[in-house]
Amino acid sequence: MARRLVKEILRNPQEHIGEKVHLSGWIRTLRSSKHFGFIELNDGSFFKNIQIVFEEKLSNFEEITRLPIATSLEIEGTVVESPGSKQPVEIQAEKITVVGLSDHDYPLQKKRHSFEFLRTIAHLRPRTNTFNAVFRTRSVLAHAIHTFFQERDFVYVHTPIITGSDCEGAGEMFHVTTFDLNNPASIPRTESGETDFRQDFFSRETNLTVSGQLEVETYCMAFRKVYTFGPTFRAENSNTPRHAAEFWMIEPEIAFADLQDNMDLAEEMMKFIIQYTIDRLPEEMEFFNQWIDKGLLDRLHNIVSSTFERITYTEAIELLKKAKQTFEYPVEWGRDLQTEHERYLTEKVFQKPVFVSDYPKDIKAFYMRLNDDEKTVAAMDLLFPGVGEIIGGSQREERYDYLENRIKEMGLNVDDYWWYLQLRKYGTVPHAGYGLGFARAMMYITGMENIRDVIPFPRTPRNAEF
Q: Are 49 and 9 in contact (CB under 8 A)?
A: no
Indicate whether 84 belongs to the interface with RNA (CB under 7 A).
yes
Q: Which residue in 14, 59, 100, 109 binds RNA (CB under 7 A)?
A: 109
Q: How many whole angstroms separate alpha carbon 369 and alpha carbon 380?
A: 11
**Residues 243-282 interacting with RNA (rule: CB under 7 A):** 243-245, 247, 249
Q: How far is the CB of 193 from RNA (least distance, A)?
A: 26
Q: Which is nearer to RNA, 390 or 403 (CB)?
A: 390
Q: How far is the CB of 439 from RNA (least distance, A)?
A: 5
Q: Which residue in 87, 306, 312, 405 binds RNA (CB under 7 A)?
A: 87
Q: Per-residue x/- marks for RNA, 42-81, CB under 7 A?
A: ---------x-x-----------xx-xx------------
Indicate whether 138 belongs to the interface with RNA (CB under 7 A).
no
Q: Which is nearer to RNA, 192 or 326 (CB)?
A: 326
Indicate whether 463 belongs to the interface with RNA (CB under 7 A).
yes
Stretch that binds RNA, among 139-147, 271-279, 397-405, 456-464 (CB under 7 A): 456-464
Indicate whether 327 belongs to the interface with RNA (CB under 7 A).
no
Q: Which is nearer to RNA, 44 or 231 (CB)?
A: 231
User: Which residues fall within 8 angstroms of residue 114, CB to CB, at 6 or more apart?
Assistant: none
Q: Which residue in 392, 404, 405, 421 binds RNA (CB under 7 A)?
A: 392
**Residues 175-194 interacting with RNA (rule: CB under 7 A):** none
**Residues 22-41 interacting with RNA (rule: CB under 7 A):** 29, 31-36, 38
Q: Which residue in 94, 166, 236, 293 binds RNA (CB under 7 A)?
A: 236
Q: How far is the CB of 462 from RNA (least distance, A)?
A: 4
Q: Per-residue x/- marks for RNA, 339-358, CB under 7 A?
A: xx------------------
Q: Are 203 and 409 in contact (CB under 8 A)?
A: no
Q: Per-residue x/- marks for RNA, 204-223, CB under 7 A?
A: -------x------------
Q: Which residue in 24, 45, 314, 338 binds RNA (CB under 7 A)?
A: 338
Indicate whether 237 belongs to the interface with RNA (CB under 7 A).
yes
Indicate whether 326 belongs to the interface with RNA (CB under 7 A).
no
Indicate whether 85 belongs to the interface with RNA (CB under 7 A).
yes
Indicate whether 98 belongs to the interface with RNA (CB under 7 A).
no
**Residues 283-322 interacting with RNA (rule: CB under 7 A):** none
Q: Per-residue x/- marks for RNA, 154-173, CB under 7 A?
A: ----------------xx--
